[in-house]
A and B are shown apart, each in its own frame.
Chain A
Amino acid sequence: MRNAIATVLLGLAMLLPVGAVQAQDGPLRIEITDGVIEPLPFAVPDFIAESPAAAQYSADIARVIAEDLVGSGLFREIPKVAYISPYTDFDAAVNFTDWKAINAQALITGSVSLSGNRITVRFRAYDVFAGQELGSGLQLSGTTDGWRRIGHKVADTIYSRLTGESGYFDSRVVFVSETGPKDDRKKRLAIMDYDGANVQYLTNSASIVLAPRFSPTGDRVLYTSYESGFPQIHVLDVGRVQRRILSAGNGSMSFAPRFAPNGHTIVYSQSAGGNTDLFSMDINSGNPQRLTSAPSIETAPSFSPDGSQLVFESDRSGTSQLYVMPVSGGEAKRISFGQGRYGTPVWSPRGDYIAFTKQNAGRFHIGVMRTDGSEERLLTASFLDEGPTWSPNGRVIMFTRETQGASGQARLYSVDISGRNLKPVKTPDGASDPSWSPLQN
Chain B
Amino acid sequence: MSGINKAILLVAGLALAACSDARWDDTNAGNGGTGIGGGSTADPSSPAYFREAIGDRVLFLVDQSSISPEAQGILDGQARWLTANPAYVVTIEGHADERGTREYNLALGARRANSAREYLISQGVAASRIQTVSYGKERPIEICSEQSCYNKNRRAVTVLAGGAVS
Contact residues of A with B, CB < 8 Å?
181-183, 185, 187, 201-204, 208, 210-211, 226, 229-232, 240-256, 269-276, 281, 283, 286-288, 297, 299-300, 313, 315, 320, 343-344, 357, 359, 383-384, 386-387, 402, 404-406, 408, 433
Expressed in whole angstroms, the Cα–Cα distance for A269 and B134 within the complex equals 13
Q: Which residue of B lies closest to A406 (CB)?
A: B143
B165 to chain A, nearest CB (A): 20
Since A243-B5, A248-B8 are in contact, a sample of 19 more A-B pairs with Cβ atoms closer than 8 Å, ordered by chain A residue number, is A183-B140, A211-B102, A211-B103, A229-B27, A230-B133, A242-B4, A244-B7, A244-B10, A245-B8, A248-B12, A251-B16, A269-B107, A271-B134, A287-B12, A288-B12, A288-B14, A313-B104, A359-B101, A387-B102
Contact of B13 among A204, A226, A248, A344 (CB under 8 A): A248
The 10 closest A-B pairs by CB, nearest first: A274-B114, A249-B15, A251-B16, A286-B12, A251-B19, A250-B19, A276-B107, A247-B13, A271-B110, A182-B143
Contact of A408 among B15, B104, B131, B145 (CB under 8 A): B145
Residues of A within 8 A of B69 (CB): none
Residues of A within 8 A of B142 (CB): 183
14 contacts between A and B (CB under 8 A): A185-B138, A203-B4, A211-B103, A250-B131, A253-B106, A254-B13, A256-B103, A269-B103, A273-B114, A274-B65, A299-B107, A343-B101, A343-B103, A386-B101
Residues of B within 8 A of A202 (CB): 1
- Contact status of A251 and B144, CB under 8 A, knowing A211-B102, A269-B107: no
Residues of A within 8 A of B110 (CB): 253, 271, 274-276
A247 to chain B, nearest CB (A): 4
Expressed in whole angstroms, the Cα–Cα distance for A400 and B140 within the complex equals 18
Residues of A within 8 A of B106 (CB): 231, 253, 255-256, 269, 271, 276, 299
B111 to chain A, nearest CB (A): 5
**Interface residues as binary, B5-31 with A (CB distance below 8 Å gives 1, 0 otherwise):** 111111111111011100010010110
Residues of B within 8 A of A229 (CB): 24, 27, 29, 133
Contact of B145 among A232, A313, A315, A405 (CB under 8 A): A405
- Contact status of A248 and B103, CB under 8 A, knowing A271-B134, A405-B145: no
Expressed in whole angstroms, the Cα–Cα distance for A274 and B109 within the complex equals 8
Contact residues of B with A, CB < 8 Å?
1, 3-16, 18-20, 24, 27, 29-30, 65, 98-104, 106-108, 110-111, 113-115, 117-118, 131-135, 138-145
Q: Is B1 within 8 A of A203, CB to CB? A: yes
Expressed in whole angstroms, the Cα–Cα distance for A254 and B135 within the complex equals 12
Residues of B within 8 A of A357 (CB): 101
- Contact status of A433 and B104, CB under 8 A, knowing A231-B134, A252-B16, A297-B111: no
Residues of A within 8 A of B101 (CB): 300, 313, 320, 343-344, 357, 359, 386-387
- Contact status of A201 and B4, CB under 8 A, knowing A231-B134, A269-B107, A297-B104: no
Expressed in whole angstroms, the Cα–Cα distance for A384 and B139 within the complex equals 17
Q: Is A272 within 8 A of B103, CB to CB? A: no
A235 to chain B, nearest CB (A): 9
Residues of B within 8 A of A408 (CB): 143, 145
Contact of A242 among B5, B11, B19, B111 (CB under 8 A): B5
Contact of A250 among B10, B15, B107 (CB under 8 A): B15
Q: Which residue of A lies closest to B91 (CB)?
A: A229
Q: Is B134 within 8 A of A253, CB to CB? A: yes
Q: Which residue of B lies closest to A203 (CB)?
A: B1
Residues of B within 8 A of A181 (CB): 143
Q: Which residue of A lies closest to B133 (CB)?
A: A230
Expressed in whole angstroms, the Cα–Cα distance for A182 and B137 within the complex equals 10
Contact of B16 among A244, A250, A256, A359 (CB under 8 A): A250
Q: Which residue of A lies closest to B1 (CB)?
A: A204
Residues of A within 8 A of B13 (CB): 232, 246-249, 252, 254, 270, 288
Q: By CB atoms of chain B within 10 A, which of A240, A271, A408, A433 has the most?
A: A271
Contact of A313 among B15, B29, B103 (CB under 8 A): B103
Q: Is A249 within 8 A of B102, CB to CB? A: no
B155 to chain A, nearest CB (A): 13
